[in-house]
Amino acid sequence: MAFSPAQREQLSKLSKEQLLEFIDMLQKNWWNLQNNYILYINNEYGDEDAVRADAHCFPANAKVQMYRLRKLFGLKDDLQSLMDAMVLSTIWANGDYDIWKVDEEKFRIKVTNCYQQVRRIEENMGEIACKPAGIAICEAAARVINPGAKVTCRVCPPDDHAKDVWCDWEFEIPKS
């Protein structure tokens, strides 16, 4: 366990609500680091290199998260386990999203508010073309849960998208 004895003692005194707030803060801290790392690479080397770096580094993190979630929660290789792992991961914690089952083999995740993209627009940087990184991340994560999982990107920058849809992903685990 990564907690020190002092952290473990302190955390054991917290209420359920405080623990949830603590987890939320940790997710925000992780995304703050990721967003600043991408911004640095973007400013130093440009958009293309920032996307390439994200597509290289973030999938490795996504895989580790999925392995740990699978072990911690005893997840199987089915569609519901993949949905649960996606919800519990930090992958989608950088915005607001909807997740729903399409049918017994598919579910979708639609990001309706991407904090990183909104921040870039507010700072007159424009959208970053995150589709290559998104594909790499989603495929790496999904295949940890089920090696036969298929991921389809329905829309993601640089694609044209509706104002309230930043990206839209479909995950499929075909029945054998």
Domain CATH code at residue 130:
3.30.1380
- The candidate with the shortest Cα–Cα distance to 132, out of 58, 41, 67, 27, is 58
Residue 147: inside a domain: yes
Q: Domain for residue 5, yes or no?
A: no
Q: Output the CA torsion sign for 26, 23, 28, 149.
A: positive
Residue 159's domain comprises 15-172
Total-model pTM = 0.90
Residue 8 lies in a domain: no
Question: Looking at the predicted structure, is the pLDDT value of residue 176 above 90?
Answer: no
User: Considering the domain boundaries, does residue 4 fall inside one?
Assistant: no
Domain count, the chain: 1
- Within a domain: 2: no
Q: Which residues contact 170 (CB under 8 A, 6 or more apart)?
A: 102, 106, 107, 108, 151, 152, 154
d(CA 120, CA 123) in angstroms, rounded, equals 5
Q: Is the pLDDT of residue 15 over 90?
A: yes
Q: How far apart are alpha carbons 109 and 87 in whole angstroms?
A: 10
Compute the chain's Rg from CA coordinates: 17
pLDDT of residue 35: 85
What pLDDT, in 10s, does the model give residues 105-162? 999 999 999 998 999 899 998 999 999 999 999 999 999 999 999 999 999 999 999 9
Asked if residue 10 is part of any domain, the answer here is no
Strand partners, 106: 172
